[in-house]
């Protein structure tokens, strides 16, 4: 990165360390922290939308929609998360390429799936082999986002469904007695009230999401775990910056990072919980009322 780092073999001590920490691969390592943050900030609202839709579907008076909502949460909760993290990207990738194969490739009469392999013509690949590398990475990241959203959306649906059921029925009946339609009761009474009950469960999901981000490594995304392992492993004299096995130090840095993220999240979620509990007929709201009395 610096002109003085042009020949690492001539460097010693602090100068060697500074050049080592500012090498090109370390810049990718630092950038991968932004990838993890982007994943969490994108997945959280998408998963919440999935969960909100699943919870409303599970409460629907229309039986097929209710079965779909309950089946979605039961299916994802009953299967190990890692299965969905690996299945969803593969299934979506092959499904999209299969549809594109039907549209763009000339008919050959041969099945796409044969001998345990999935084969489509080059024009059906997503992205194309001639596409710049950045779009391959964006595509892989998008598949990872969808996989995370499907899994955490199911857990969010279960939390929101329970929170909706926890809203006192008397409040809903009072709104109905005032002439509100079911849609108005849901929009003006049920949904605003249920956040107080949902926040503890959603807070736990957010913390679990933070801890689950290393699974990006399994999905082929070059995240912080990938670079920590890559940079920390033993480097011989054939490398510009040879060093012994330093993985323990890299993973220690990741440990501090995740602990810091968890602590910051707990502080912010605690403030949000206090704000939502103010004036509510809950244990937290009652405690705040007595403290102010």
For residues 225 and 84, give the distance between their C-alpha atoms in angstroms, rounded to a whole number.
20
Q: How many CB atoms lie within 10 A of CB 38?
A: 12
Question: If we measure between CA atoms, which residue out of 140, 145, 141, 154 comes closest to residue 81?
Answer: 154
Question: If we measure between CA atoms, which residue out of 125, 145, 152 comes closest to residue 221?
Answer: 145
* Measured CA angle at 40 (ends 39, 45), to 5 deg: 105
**Confidence at residue 215, expressed as pLDDT on a 0 to 100 scale:** 84
Question: If we measure between CA atoms, which residue out of 43, 151, 143, 39 comes closest to residue 94?
Answer: 143
Q: How many CB atoms lie within 10 A of CB 173?
A: 11
What does the pLDDT profile of the chain (293 residues) look like in tens digits?
566 787 777 777 888 888 888 888 899 999 999 999 999 999 999 999 999 999 989 988 889 999 999 998 888 877 887 888 888 888 888 888 888 888 888 877 777 887 777 888 888 888 888 888 888 888 888 988 998 999 999 999 999 999 988 888 888 888 888 888 888 888 888 888 888 889 989 999 999 999 888 888 778 788 899 999 999 999 888 888 888 999 999 999 999 999 999 999 999 988 888 887 766 555 555 455 455 54
For residue 114, the surrounding DSSP H or E stretch is strand 113-114
Name the CATH superfamily, with its identifier, for domain 3-292.
MetI-like (1.10.3720.10)
For residues 292 and 272, give the distance between their C-alpha atoms in angstroms, rounded to a whole number.
18
**Do 175 and 188 form a contact (C-beta atoms < 8 A)?**
yes
**Do 157 and 72 form a contact (C-beta atoms < 8 A)?**
yes
Supply the pTM of this predicted model. Answer: 0.80
Map out the domains of the chain as residue ranges: 3-292
**Confidence at residue 286, expressed as pLDDT on a 0 to 100 scale:** 46
**Confidence at residue 287, expressed as pLDDT on a 0 to 100 scale:** 53
């Amino acid at each position: 990165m610096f002109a003085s780092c042009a020949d690492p073999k001539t460097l010693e001590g602090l100068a060697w360390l500074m050049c080592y920490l500012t090498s090109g691969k370390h810049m990718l390592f630092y950038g991968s922290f932004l990838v993890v943050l982007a994943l969490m900030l994108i997945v959280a609202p998408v998963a919440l939308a999935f969960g909100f839709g699943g919870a409303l579907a599970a409460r629907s008076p229309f039986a097929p929609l209710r079965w779909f909502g309950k089946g979605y949460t039961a299916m994802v909760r009953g299967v190990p998360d890692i299965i969905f993290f690996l299945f969803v990207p593969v299934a979506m990738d092959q499904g999209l390429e299969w549809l594109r194969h039907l549209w763009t490739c000339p008919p050959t009469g041969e099945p796409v799936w044969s001998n345990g392999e999935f084969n489509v013509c080059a024009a059906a690949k997503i992205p194309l082999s001639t596409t710049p590398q950045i779009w391959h990475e964006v595509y892989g990241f998008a598949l990872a986002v969808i996989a995370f959203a499907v899994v955490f959306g199911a857990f969010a649906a279960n939390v929101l469904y329970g929170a909706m059921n926890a809203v006192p029925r008397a409040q809903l009946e009072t709104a109905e007695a005032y002439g509100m339609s079911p849609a108005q009761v849901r929009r003006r009474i049920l949904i605003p009230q249920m956040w107080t009950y949902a926040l503890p469960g959603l807070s736990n999901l957010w913390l679990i999401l933070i801890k689950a981000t290393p699974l990006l490594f399994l999905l082929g995304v070059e995240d912080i775990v990938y670079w920590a392992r890559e940079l920390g492993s033993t480097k011989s004299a054939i490398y510009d910056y040879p060093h012994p096995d330093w993985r323990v130090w890299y993973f220690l840095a990741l440990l501090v990072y995740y602990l810091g993220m968890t602590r910051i999240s707990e502080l912010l979620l605690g403030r949000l919980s206090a704000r939502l509990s103010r004036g509510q007929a809950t244990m937290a709201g009652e405690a705040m009322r007595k403290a102010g009395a």
